[in-house]
Amino acid sequence: MAQPFVKWAGGKRKLLDQIQAILPKKYATYHEPMVGGGALFFDLLPKNAILNDLNSDLMVTYEVIRDQPEKLIKQLKTLKNSEEEYLKIRAQTPRIAVNKAARFLYLNKLSFNGLYRVNSSGIFNVPYCKDPERVHFDADIILEASKSLQGTRLTNLDYLQALASVKKKDFVFIDPPYDDTFSSYTSEGFNKASQIMLKEAMDYLNDVGAQVIVCNSDTEFIRNIYKDYKQTVVQDRFVISAKGSTRQPKSTLFITNYTF
């Protein structure tokens, strides 16, 4: 069964049942302009799909898994789980796509708390997990993901550029950095002005005639800017915390421009 090959902050694996309940009944092409770990894509396995993310290392990894999974697995087998190796690989800047993808997956699996974070210079700076028993890749997951990605178009654009390809009757699933939460997936971050711009993008997609789901925090700010759209509240649990005791339940809004 296909599943995400990376752990991604704010991933939607635990909310797939709730998302399935509000999906449009029919659509042409599936678009995910901030794909991250791609939990919904791997759950749905749409026939026609365009996946995009601004994180270039992530999208290189998607491409390598789609096109060169065996070479990637071979490269990952050469890497060892140790703090010394982790720090050495973290400091590298490989140019070959397979090596970039192997580094990305290795750091994702062996970083502290499975967190992907970059600083303002775009440098990955998460410390080692301190767990020498942790496995840094699963060949079966990579191979299954590769099968699922065949025929899928992959792009590395700003999400607004990616949305330019959306057409009438397409389905767009947008899972942005949430309001007032972790947003360091890229060096650009995501602030209040970014949230307003995203709402305006939803207005554009609505005018195009696409069916859209936007996920976000259940905050007064988000409720207000999306007041003209249908809002569904679900309980979520964020895991961006070093201590389990601080991982408090949160509400998530699913915002849609169609009825279900």
Residue 189: the pLDDT is 64
* Cα distance between residue 154 and residue 149, in whole Å: 9
Is the separation of the CB atoms in 8 and 51 below 8 Å? no
Task: Enumerate residues 6+ apart whose C-beta is below 8 A from 127.
Answer: 111, 112
Higher local confidence (pLDDT), 7 or 120: 7
Check pLDDT > 50 for residue 16: yes
* CATH classification of the domain holding 172: 3.40.50.150
Mean pLDDT of 130-148: 97
Copy the structure tokens of residue 37: 């770990």
Q: Are strands 249-256 and 230-237 parallel, antiparallel or unpaired?
A: antiparallel
Check pLDDT > 50 for residue 47: yes
Reduced to 3 states (helix: H, G, I; strand: E, B; else coil), residue 213 is strand
Domain closes at, from 146, 161, 185: 146
Residue 94: the pLDDT is 96
| Domain count of the fold of the chain | 2
Bridge partners of 234? 252
Residue 66: the pLDDT is 98
Residue 190: the pLDDT is 82
Computed over every residue of the chain, the mean pLDDT equals 91
Residues 82 and 109 in one domain: yes
Residue 237: the pLDDT is 53
Residue 188: the pLDDT is 56
Interior angle at CA 81, CA 80 and CA 82, nearest 5: 105
Check pLDDT > 50 for residue 123: yes
Domain, as residue range, for 89: 76-146
Residue 212 main-chain phi, psi, to 5 deg: -130, 140
Residues of the chain above pLDDT 70, percent: 92
Residues 159 and 247 in one domain: yes
Residue 161's pLDDT band (cuts 50, 70, 90): very high
Copy the structure tokens of residue 117: 């974070």
Q: What is the pTM of this model?
A: 0.91
Domain closes at, from 146, 164, 183: 146
Check pLDDT > 70 for residue 120: yes
* Cα distance between residue 53 and residue 80, in whole Å: 28
Residue 249's pLDDT band (cuts 50, 70, 90): low
Residue 122's pLDDT band (cuts 50, 70, 90): confident
Residues 86 and 42 in one domain: no
Instruction: Convert the pLDDT of each residue in 206-224 to its tens digit.
Output: 999 999 999 999 999 999 9
Instruction: Match 């791609």 to its residue by tokens.
Output: 38
Domain closes at, from 146, 175, 195: 146
Residues 163 and 235 in one domain: yes
Q: Is residue 8 part of a domain?
A: no
Residue 118's pLDDT band (cuts 50, 70, 90): confident
Higher local confidence (pLDDT), 251 or 239: 251
Spell out the alpha helix ranges (H) of the chain: 16-20, 39-44, 56-67, 69-77, 83-90, 97-110, 139-149, 159-162, 192-208, 220-225
